[in-house]
Amino acid sequence: MDSEAQIIRTEYSDLMKKSYIDYAMSVIISRALPDVRDGLKPVQRRTLYDMYELGIRWDKPYRKCARIVGDTMGKYHPHGDSSIYEALVVMAQDFKKGQVLVDGHGNFGSIEGDGAAAMRYTEARLTKFTQEVCLSDLDKDVIDFGPNFDETEKEPLVLPVRVPNLLVNGAEGIAVGMATSIPTHNLSEVIDAVKAYMKNDAISTRQLMKYIKGPDFPTGGIVVNKDDLLNIYETGQGKIKIRGKVEVEELKGGKKQLVITEIPYTMIGTGIGKFLNDVAGLVESRKTTDIVDISNQSSKEGIRIVLELKKGADAENLKNMLYKKTRLEDTFGVNMLAVANGRPETLGLKQIIEHHVDFQFELATRKYTTLLAKEKEKSEVQEGLIKACDVIDLIIEILRGSKSVKDARACLVNGVTDNIKFKSSISKKMAAMLRFTERQATAILEMRLYRLIGLEIEALQKEHEETLENIARYEDILNNYESMAGVIMEELDSYKKEYGRKRRTVIENAEEAVFEEKKIEEQEVVFLMDRFGYARTVDTAVYERNREAADSENRYVVHCMNTGRLCLFTDTGRMHQVKIQDLPHGKFRDKGTPIDNVSNYSSTGEQIVAVFDSEQMRFARLLFATAQGMIKKVDGTEFQVSKRTTAATKLQEGDSLAAVKVISENQNVVLRTRNGYFLRFPAEDVPVKKKAAVGVRGIRLQKKDELEEAYLFEEGTEAKAMFGEKEVTLNRLKLARRDGTGTKSR
């Protein structure tokens, strides 16, 4: 009988909430965060284990990364191949990891942000460090295995990593609602701190920092807020300030150059290119005139960025400018979040070491329990063989008199003599007294005759003595905390000796970089912008010498001070501000820079209708005229704002700003439409409004016509304007009132 479908009614929001929490926890635990025990995310753990399973050891040939990625994806990690390959690449990059876990062969990217070659071109294998420190003893039941995604394979739930990899290699990961960011540390220092904790588990974070001075980044650099580190290591959160290393080199002729030999860890990748652009920007914007040339001479040997200085330049002040104005001094945000006991937890330095040491004792307990069991099995067999050698003639008689292996085994184990022919009753009595174990009986039945040679028997006895010594040693390790701690510390010492290296990052308390900007000598300049949008400033004297050419070749010519700002009004009703210092200053024939580069103005979406000096606007009123014929006056003080972009006026739907002019009360206004209608009226007819107002109607437009331009002239003066090829004398136009239709030009 078919069972009826059951409909469960539930609140939609509750269902969504539960589903999202399930998804979030899956991302947190199974993808984005490392485990505190081995310091690895699932994708890293699976990739390393897969390489171990494939036998791609440090002393074996490299194998194609595509093979590793495909095998990992098919067996353990059912996600995109790019995520697996990216994890593999990062584990092979010595500029990102304190200890590389993968030995890469081929193009695995560069510190300057170049990506790795495709996985079909690159090859990889495990490093000796990974094999010895992260993957040893997998055959000794030291960790738990669980089913893979389709339950066809077993995968390790954690790798038996013998050093605090979470600290040594750090971690970065973005989960749902949380992120982790753990800096790298020096292996030797971390090992010393672990040993100190094992000797005294009441040790404080401050005492641990006698061993771990601070982060040790692969890129070196200088940590400059040493005093903040204690709080960061106690809470697991904080900000580390890190600087690049800058050296001053003397050149011939009294010149100097600044050489950057180490960069902040945060500058890895595109940060170097951005830094070079930032320095070039400082030179272009004349924040400094002391840098003559910038060159990136970095190679496989290391970072070398050279800034050549002009003679007499203040190198120390320039160094501070680089720290202040570029990412040569940067912040590394620390958030030591990891999965501990199956849940995400923010951990301090001591807590991470505690978890690590607990894990090491668990590994050692399981390892030596397994070894002890094997040695006890071996001892049992050895005892049986030694005992068998003493009664070998009897055993041979039993074997020759038995009809089957079953009969012989029964006699050896339980003394059952039925179905066995003996040469004498004495032998039968002695055989009935035999009591070998099942394991011993199997070893005796499988024993080869050469083991009866005298020397072989001696070797067997010696081997048995060694086995008994091992059993005593393993029992001592398992039953005695000091013995187990000694074994763990011995291992740590061997890793420190083989893989330890000197610290790269300097830890100090440095004063904040103070950069004294040279005060720019205030002077009047002339802003020039051509019809293509290229802008620059020139000296007033240069403009006066080339006045005619400047006025004819440039769309906008504005007299201003070099310390001020320009306001660009666009047809979209917005105002963009530009610092005059940001514009190139030079010769009359210099090309200049696109105005888009130094402002938020976009030449693709808007058109400039007017340009004014900010200071001159302060004491003026502006006339606004729109394409739909709306006009108003606005006080210039309303545009004294700090924002780079602001709304200059309110526009009706489909309207655009046609003209912005500086207006005074004794002027006449002439509005001109596209179809040639002119309307003249006094400036006093235009009401003063706020910039957020639409304004009033200035001219009544004919169908399919729009306002194109506004002209201003003083009452009683002659003023002319061009319309097409005709010249129109504005002061001869009939004086009317605002909101008329105007007269058409003949």
Strand, coil or helix: 339 = strand
Q: Do residues 615 and 560 touch, judged by C-beta distance below 8 A?
A: yes
SS (H, E, C) 460-516: HHHHHHHHHHHHHHHHHHHHCHHHHHHHHHHHHHHHHHHHCCCCCCEECECCCCCCC
Strand, coil or helix: 125 = strand
**Which of the residues are catalytic?**
121
The rounded distance, in Å, linking the Cα atoms of 707 and 13 is 55
Q: Are strands 102-105 and 123-126 parallel, antiparallel or unpaired?
A: antiparallel
- How far CA 361 is from CA of 158, 164, 336, 338, 355, in Å, comes to 15, 13, 23, 20, 10
Residue 522 is encoded by which pair of tokens?
């205030």
Beta bridge partners of 291: 309
Strand, coil or helix: 380 = helix
Task: Provide DSSP, 20-59.
Answer: HHHHHHHHIIIIIS-BTTT---HHHHHHHHHHHHTT--TT
The rounded distance, in Å, linking the Cα atoms of 119 and 35 is 27
Q: Do residues 264 and 242 touch, judged by C-beta distance below 8 A?
A: yes
Containing H/E element for 102? strand 102-105
Burial (0-12, 13-18, 19+ Cβ within 10 Å), 37: buried
Containing H/E element for 71? helix 65-75
Q: Are strands 222-223 and 506-507 parallel, antiparallel or unpaired?
A: parallel
**Residue tagged 């004819």 (tokens):** 552
Q: Where are the alpha helices (DSSP H) in 391-437?
A: 392-401, 405-414, 425-432
Query: 583-590: which pairs have CB atoms within 8 A and are 24 or more residues apart?
Result: 583/527, 583/535, 583/536, 583/537, 584/284, 584/536, 584/537, 585/286, 585/525, 585/536, 585/537, 585/538, 586/536, 586/538, 587/538, 587/542, 588/538, 588/542, 588/543, 588/545, 588/546, 588/549, 588/550, 590/536
Q: Give the contacts of 577 (CB within 8 A, at least 6 positions apart).
A: 565, 566, 567, 568, 599, 614, 641, 643, 644, 645
The rounded distance, in Å, linking the Cα atoms of 435 and 416 is 10
Beta bridge partners of 682: 668
Q: Are strands 145-147 and 534-539 parallel, antiparallel or unpaired?
A: unpaired
CA 49, 51, 56 angle in degrees (round to 5)? 140
Residue 105 is encoded by which pair of tokens?
């062969």
Give which of 42, 39, 123 is closest to 75, Cα–Cα. Answer: 42
Containing H/E element for 618? helix 614-618
| Beta sheet of 574-579, edge-to-edge order | 608-613, 565-570, 574-579, 645-647
Containing H/E element for 279? helix 270-284
Phi-psi region of 106 (alpha: psi -120 to 50; beta: other; left: phi over 0): left
The rounded distance, in Å, linking the Cα atoms of 112 and 90 is 14
